[in-house]
Structure 1
Amino acid sequence: MSCELQEASKHDHVLEVSARLPHLRVAVEEDLRERGLVRERVLACLARLLDLGCFRIGAPPTAATTRRTA
């Protein structure tokens, strides 16, 4: 796959994910209201932390070259 095609595919995927974010955020909010450590609440917590930017998704080499300084 060419770089241009790969970048276009990545861009399309980002648009798909961004279109689903509002629904995901509502579902996360609902699941976080649950009590105890039920599966849905734990997964919602993980999704919230990813959404807030507490963890970076990506391959280790990419993360190393784009690491933020604190």
Structure 2
Amino acid sequence: MEVSSKLAAIISRLDSMTTDVEEEQASRRFEKNGQQVAIVTYDSATKTFNLAEIKSQQKFEFDDIDLVAMEIYDLLTD
């Protein structure tokens, strides 16, 4: 799978979170080789993505879908 198609798939998953009107906070899990590497939560009130990296136990906040997608891509390709 090419880089652009992997990024497109990640962005598609993230974008679906922004249109989920049922939940104020939607979340998605991202896995590599069956191991969870990150959990992303979208807060519709603040329009921000919160990324929790499982291995490092660090948390990051993004207000740009492209930036969070690139961070997830990096985690999945390490």
TM-score interval, smaller chain: 0.3 to 0.5
Larger Rg over CA atoms: 1
Higher strand content, 1 or 2: 2
Higher relative contact order (CA 8 A, sep 6+): 2
Query: What TM-score, normalized by structure 2, do the two folds share?
Result: 0.34
